[in-house]
Structure 1
Amino acid sequence: MAVETSYVYLESVGGGREEVWVVGVGDMSYEWEVPDSLGWYRLLLVVEGPGRRDSVYSSSIYIGRVGVGEGEGVSVGDTFGLRVRYGELTMGSVLVEYSVPCEGEVVLEVYDVSGREVRELWRGDVVRGEHRMEWDGRDGEGRLLSSGVYFVSLEGMGRRAVRKVVLVR
């Protein structure tokens, strides 16, 4: 496909979209201003050519605060979010990262496509901030799950976030 124009959008996961680049053919580097809103985002690349338009999403990225401050300080755990690390397709274990804005109880579970819970990864109190947990692709009985689509769910503090995982055996 001959590319005439490319567009790159920054899309809030679960929210709106804003154009960040309009790219000409041959452009290889881009600059953009990070949004003020903290949270999970992904990039959408749209490529247009004669009679054709294709698009692809990036993996989710987290935009948070980084720095040193006085008084109130700067914190990375200001939002409620969930991310499956290293893409959505996996043959082994999956690194699940999540962020909570305050101390409280959360439940981290895995569901199959029928909505049946196959594994509870965590149920309990967590402190404010970012957390990581590895899921080995097994159900609650310790059996390897078959290839397929699964959903990791984080619930707590009156909110819920869900991410898709594709297991390949």
Structure 2
Amino acid sequence: MTRRRTALLCGLLTLAATGCGIRPTGVTDGGTAPSGISKGMRVYFASDNGPRGVSRPGVTVDQLDDVFKLLAGGPTAGERANGLADLVPENAGFHATSTRGHITLRATGPFIVSPQNQSTGQLVCTLARAEVLIHGTRPDKVQVTLVGDEGRAGPYQCQQFLQR
């Protein structure tokens, strides 16, 4: 071995023996692990890929009918710039009731109840989120049945609209 290789090898061994310079510490608490569902109210608006939820921090809902006011407010300017739109008809009247995670949404006026309709997805997903917050129902157990002038549809679950 040449002197140059020997010097280089000794330098690398010395560097490896000294470590990275970070001293060991005790055990630290990383906090609470993230859960699968976000906290707080989410409102769902239409997008190119189906309904998309947006957070409404600080907004509380006390009853399911509060959802309709949130949807009527529409997406913010930033959310509209990101391709979100409110497709729920303004001239339809809505009322929702819940029994153990089974929501019945009654709609009056021109409202088409269709699983392919993003406005239906907006309503189902936003109502499901409110049900979770108000009554503590597991998200995968919430079902929404729509009753309108055109008939009855459902029950639907939010996942059906998000799997596009």
TM-score, length of structure 1 as denominator length: 0.23
* Structure with the greater alpha carbon radius of gyration: 2
Structure showing the higher strand proportion among its residues: 1
